[in-house]
A and B are shown apart, each in its own frame.
Chain A
């Protein structure tokens, strides 16, 4: 069976070879892994590239994956480390400036759903603010606030104590509070309801 085909194949309870099992697990957790990669990179093409590299690394290490443990946390850990390695190599981290925030541009397009308009308008500023966070803070915020992981689950992905997740998450949110201040204030005034 080809790796490409396993995503569409029903797991019928028969013994699987490693490649089939890997393909099935990757397909199962692909959307979540993409959201994680996208929010880490802030760009769809880079997110796909990151996932490709992480998938290659994971496939090479798959014999060390212990059945019964959570594949998503194991794979997201590889995604995160691949991302951090890439950041270190390319030194792509850019300094954040408040000038990059298109503050006040909350009204966009002529969509019929006001909620969707607000959400789409928030996406750019939120992503740019995330991009400005150091990777260790960004990953904690993305896991807990965007992927809805518990502190314990995030600690498992990031391979650090729960207290470290708590601290990184808090510092990340405090930084985002400053960078997203116009939106935070608008939300507190009820202007984004």
Chain B
């Protein structure tokens, strides 16, 4: 039998099947080299189990939980708000710039720009929005059968 090196730790731990363990035991009975390895492995295992168990600082858990909580609900969630603020700023800027796509000076353009400014600062419900838009754009809101 070849030296069953890879199985010797598992033999020491008693995790081999009965059949494997019997085979290893038979080999150990005639192989001083593998017996030496087994004794060394047992000694290593004893050494590892004799070192003191390190204890955490008493405050370590509380510190960790506190930091977790701080990260979960930051006082100033600037990272989340930043894209929205940026988008709102760009939109606001566009609204005050000369409108490139609509001929300026018309009543409809002025009304639309005015409405866009208001909705930017005061989000309205659909109903209010529709009522507001129905004034300059009556063709967008045709009379429905149930209005008659």
Q: Is B128 an interface residue (CB 8 A)?
A: no
Q: Are A48 and B60 in contact (CB under 8 A)?
A: yes
Q: Are A7 and B15 in contact (CB under 8 A)?
A: no
In the assembled complex, the CB of B73 is this many whole angstroms from the nearest CB of chain A, namely 10
CB contacts (< 8 Å) of B49 on chain A: these are 145-146
Q: Select which of B44, B55, B61, B71 is within 8 A of A180 by beta carbon.
A: B44
Do most interface residues of chain A lie in helix, strand or loop, or is the interface mixed? helix
CB contacts (< 8 Å) of A38 on chain B: these are 54
Q: Which of B36-80 contact A (CB under 8 A)?
A: 37, 39-41, 43-57, 60-69, 71-72
Q: Is B8 an interface residue (CB 8 A)?
A: yes
Q: Mark B1-27, 1 if CB is under 8 A from A, else 0.
A: 000011011100101000000000000
Q: Select which of A23, A48, A59 is within 8 A of B56 by beta carbon.
A: A48
Known contacts A35-B53, A48-B57, A123-B51, A173 near B44 by CB under 8 Å: yes
Do most interface residues of chain B lie in helix, strand or loop, or is the interface mixed? helix
Q: Is A87 an interface residue (CB 8 A)?
A: no
Q: Which residue of B lies closest to A52 (CB)?
A: B64
Known contacts A4-B62, A170-B6, A35 near B48 by CB under 8 Å: no
Q: Are B51 and A146 in contact (CB under 8 A)?
A: yes
Interface residues in A, total, Cβ within 8 A:
50
Known contacts A44-B54, A151-B15, A180-B44, A4 near B9 by CB under 8 Å: no
Give the interface of A toward B (CB within 8 A).
Answer: 2-4, 6-7, 19, 23, 26-27, 30-31, 34-35, 38-39, 44, 47-48, 51-52, 55-56, 59, 116, 118-120, 122-123, 126-127, 141, 144-146, 150-151, 166-167, 169-170, 173-174, 176-177, 180, 183-184, 187-188
